[in-house]
Structures are given as structure tokens and as C-alpha cells.
Structure 1
């Protein structure tokens, strides 16, 4: 995948060049990501690009770089302004520009279900209306949030513990009685090693890259929420593409999303096994306490969103709110797209294989 990204690196901007592929004019699009080129969260980007090369050889994606070319929290503005034709980044990174992006982590749906239910179209409307951007789909999916702690817990209670968190999980840590701590990723290992914090919340893929399995004792089951990154394109760039190119891009991301979803679920399972091989044990909450985790995450957390601001700035978010609430029913253990436990993740992987 890295080889693909290096091959696609270049200096051109969006547009057409010499006719190729039987007289078909070439289309070149520039792309930047919020993660470093070699970061595993870019895997879905390279999968999409590889599939696009096979499906539409007249389209070239030129990779321009990661945070070194534009800060992640303003990359969405770079795409909106046309600095880059395309971008891949988590919605959490542009909540300031689009408050409705507080919502995606609560999704009870896989990327494929979101597309089938028209939720992908709602996100496209929201991005077009407020940012001048076309929303194409997901480049990361299938990674829930997991709590890593120094001592085992048997209740939905983190009192006496401080956890390094991101914006995606700080509310949950606080709701469980813990103290959320904002720390750069590069400082977390040392903070855990020195006991400055008692644990960390993280996407299910990523802690091993920082060596956190060496300085935590337990990973908590169940897991909750969804970690995602979005593929977006400057709206003017999109509108200037011919219909065949638009269709190729849309069909390719639609084709690639199940592969991305399965890929990151597999990585989640593999990384959890890596933690356990290093001595990190699973601390499993009994059923009533697990239910409390889900209630805090998907009911209390949902209600605590600043809906007044979200709906005032993004009226179409009302459709998104209804669509998600329709899925937040029944047994909440089934609500986590990437699997609330590793066993459930494995079962979902098997189901995807049977369906493909």
C-alpha cells in the first residue's frame, strides 16, 4: 500500500491531460490526508486508490502528503478552498467547521448500511451546504473505542482514574466518573509509565504503534462508538468532472467500503491479540454494567450533544438524528458497528465473508 502511495505522489493539480485509454481524456486529482503517509489509518485510502486504478485507469490520484502539508484540523478548509481536490480525515477533526460531525461516532450502522439507508446522501447534503464539499464515503470504519486501564474494573465506574482521551470519548470517561486528560499521542506512553494517567481511551487499532501494551494492564469489554475517517472532494472539482468519472469514483468507494470495514475489524482483532500476547488482559463487565456502558454512550451521550447548535447550523442534521435514533433500538450490545467485543467482531467478519 505504501508503494501505491509513493507511486501516486506528484505535483499536478486536478484537470485533464493527454488522451489515454482508447481516446479517453486523463483526469488527475490531488489528495491529502490528515494522517502521516505510513499511518495505518490511511490503509483505506490506498485500497480505494488501487481499486480506482483498476476500475478507471484514466483517473490518477496524486498524493500530496499528510500533516506536513496541512494541519489536520484545517485540512477540510484546504479541500473546500481547492488547495487539494480530495482529502481523507476523521469528522472529529472538523467539528469546529461543521458541528454536525459530533454525530458520526454514534452511528449504529456499518458503512454499507449507511449507504443503503440514504445516510451517506444526508452527509453529502450537509457537506455541500456548509463546506462546499462533496462527501464520498469512509476510508476508516470498523474500529470501536476501547478503554485501556492500569487495574481491572468490573463496573461502569472510573472514579479515581484519569484517562488520556480524545474528543470522541472524553464525555464517556467523564460520565463514568473518570477524569479525561488531553495529551498529544506522543506523550501518552511516558504519562502511563510514570503514572500521570491511569489509562487511555483509543480506537481499537493504534495503541500498539505507541507501545501502550507495555504500560497498561487491561483492556475493557465492552467497546463502544465507531472511529471513522471520511473521503471528501472539493465540490467545484466534482461538478467539473464528467459523468463517467463521477460514476467511477462513486462506484469504487461503494465497492471499497466493505473491504475497508473488514480490513479494520481484522486489524482490531489482530492488535487485541498483540496486546494480550504482551500481557494485557481483558477485564469484562458483567451484563448489567455493560448495559450501563451502552446507556451512557448511546442514550445519555446522545442527549448531551449540543443539538441546539447542531440543528441551528445544520438543519439537515434533523434527518441524520432521526436515522440514527431509528437504529438505536433493541439490544444495545448489537449497536457497535465494529463489534462491542472481539467475539462479536470476529462474527461480523465471518458474516461479511459469507455475504461477499
Structure 2
């Protein structure tokens, strides 16, 4: 994991003053917006986001152009919220968990571990059950407006043995980062091990770990982890980061209702394209993996309920951190219960 870099607020303010002109763009004039995304330029997510930027230019007849910048191009990933609010960037595409130091509610929205097994569960909550309104209440004091919420696909688990029930977690030595992920696996009966991602392959080879929370199936398989972990929990169910597509609030409010609607629709199309392309890549690799003897299994809906029930103890710890985190946890939990997911 790369080291998080901090810049003094005064430095951000100084940069903001130098670029203040860019944040006072007229809604009627042609606009160039710099959007920083929290992935590298070669990543599939970056390429799909570039297509979204082109789509916005086409839909606006060239009146809005978006320059997409890879991770840490202008500021660190944990600084983009302040940078967008100050006008250093006009927007960002990112996981809100980077801002958990400002308010733990960002971590809850960013990835309430164990809550979601499908992106469209989360998007239904955000779009139709008040999630986006709650999230905007969190970010608008920073002069940032969430255009629409997006989500990555759930991460798979690479493992040496099948995972089909909660019993299968008992004693499982699983690589997991410290914090919510590690705590929830422990509540499920596993034995979490904190290791950097660079050591996962060797740790599997030497038996230091039996399984790993790493990333999506396609990446896991193409990097060869199946050699020492010939099973996988897929589709995943434990970790599914939010992808927030946000704009400077002053700019958002300067736009016509028609342009605001165009941006919301364009983000929905972007989110659908991301889901379809990442899922297709996963399924292609699942097919190859099965042909090469990898065992694919996952938790049934009833077992998923048990996993969420175990996770609730950790969710409740986050619930107590701030009023916004309490609202986030309670509203998500209510959604899960209402939709027979908990």
C-alpha cells in the first residue's frame, strides 16, 4: 500500500486562489473540468471513465469537456474532497472511504463490509431509499455535490478450500486489512492475518494464509493465485466499494436543470457500463478457471443473511462514532431488513 501523503490546508488554499477562475465558469460558456479518479491510467475502470467523459462532451454538444486524471495526479486520493470543494479539481471519481478521517460515515457509505452482494442492491438504496440525499448532506458542507453514486463489483475471495457456509470460515487464516474487513471476518469465525498485498502470493505458497481478501476475480486469476489457492468464493459478498462521482457544488448549482439531468443520466450509463464490462471480464476468467480445475462456490442467500448478522456487531461499532455514521448504518440496516437481506 502506498503511503498517504498530506498537504497543509494552507497549501491547498493557495493553489485554490491560483485557479479560482476555473471554478467561476459560466454555465453558458464552454467548460473544461478536471476530474481525478482513484485508479491508474492503465486500469479498466479508467478506460471506462474516459468513455463517460467522451459521452458527456457529446451529450453537451461540446459545451462540457472533462479531462480525466489518474490517481494522485494533482493531489493525493485522501485530498480530493477538499480539492474539489476548493476548485483545484472540478470533480472526482473515488471511494469515499479515503475521507473516513473527516467523518466515519464516509467509510460506511464507501464500503459497509458484508452488507452488499450485488452493486444494484447498493444503488437501489442510494437512488431510491434516500442514500444519495444523506450522502450529499455529508459532502455539501465541503462544497461538493454527488452527481450520482456508482459501485464496483463485489470482490472475490481466493481460498484453499470451498466456502459455502458460515462454518467454512472457522479457523480460516485469511489475509485482510486491519479495520472493518478484518473485524468482520473475525466475527464470522476466521483468523485474519494483516499482510500487504505484495506478500499474498508467497503467503499462500508457504501456508501462512489459507485465503485472501484481495480484489475482483479476473485480477486474482490472471495473477496466478489459483496455483496455491485452487478455490474461490464467487460471486463475492464481503467487499464492494462505492464509487462516488462528484462535482464542485458551485459549478453544479450554476448548471441548468437540463444539464444536471444530463450529467445524472450519463453517470447512470457509466455505472452500468462499468458493471457490465467488469462482470464480463470476471465471467470469462471464471470459465477458464473452472476448465483448469478451480472450484467455484459462494454463500447461499440464507448463509449471506448469517454473514450479515455476524457483521452487525462491527457495523454497530461504526454506528456509534458520529451522528452521520449512525444515520448511515441505521438506514442501510433498515434497507437490508426491508428487502429480506438481513
TMscore range, shorter length: 0.7 to 0.9
TM-score where L is the length of structure 2: 0.76
Deviations 1:201-253 (A, max 9, x none): 23434323543233321112563243332112232343344555434322321
Residues 71, 207 of structure 1: alpha-carbon distance in 2 compared, 3 angstrom cutoff:
farther
Change (3 A) 1:92 1:272: farther
Q: Could you tell me which residue of structure 1 aligns to residue 44 of structure 2?
A: 40
Aligned 8 A contact 1:34 1:67 in 2: yes
In the superposition, relative to structure 1, how do residues 207 and 185 fare at CA in structure 2: closer, same or farther (>3 Å)?
Answer: same
Q: Which residue of 1 aligns with 2:279?
A: 265
Q: For 1:179-258, what aligned pairs fall within 5 Å after superposition?
A: 179-205=191-217, 206-208=219-221, 210-220=223-233, 223-225=236-238, 226-241=240-255, 243-258=257-272
Is 1:325 equivalent to 2:334 in the alignment? yes
* Per-residue CA distance 1:234-284 (angstroms, 9 max, x = gap): 323433445554343223213433333333333332333343344321245
Q: 2:4 — aligned with what?
A: none
Q: Which moved more, 1:26-35 or 1:183-192?
A: 183-192
Q: What is the aligned length? A: 309
Q: Counterparts in 2 of 1:146-161, with a 5 A limit? A: 146-153=156-163, 155-156=165-166, 157-161=168-172
2:234/2:296 contact within 8 Å kept: yes
- How far does residue 192 in structure 1 lie from its aligned partner after superposition? 2.2
Quote how far apart the aligned CAs of 1:189 are.
2.2
Distance between the aligned counterparts of 2:296 and 2:224, measured in 1?
A: 17
Which segments of structure 1 move beyond 4 Å, counting only runs of 4 or more?
15-19, 240-244
What SS is found at the alignment partner of 1:28?
strand
Q: TM-score, normalised by structure 1?
A: 0.73
Unaligned 5+ segments in structure 1 are 1-11, 336-356
Question: For the Cα contact (< 8 Å) 1:112–1:258, is it kept in 2?
Answer: no
For 2:149 and 2:88, how far apart are their aligned partners in 1?
A: 21
Report what 1:72 is aligned to. Answer: 77
CA distance in 2, matches of 1:99, 1:44: 29
Q: Which runs of 5+ in 2 are unaligned?
A: 1-18
Whether 1:50 aligns to 2:54 is yes
Relative to total residues, which structure has the larger strand share, 1 or 2? 1
> Does the C-alpha gap of structure 1 residues 319 and 99 become closer, same or farther in structure 2, counting only changes over 3 Å?
closer
Q: Name the CA shift for 1:208/1:95 in 2 (closer, same or farther; >3 Å).
A: farther
Rounded to whole Å, the distance in 2 between the matches of 1:214 and 1:30 is 42
Alpha-carbon separation, structure 1, partners of 2:29 and 2:222: 42
Inter-partner Cα distance in structure 1 for 2:293 and 2:123: 33
Partner of 2:29: 25
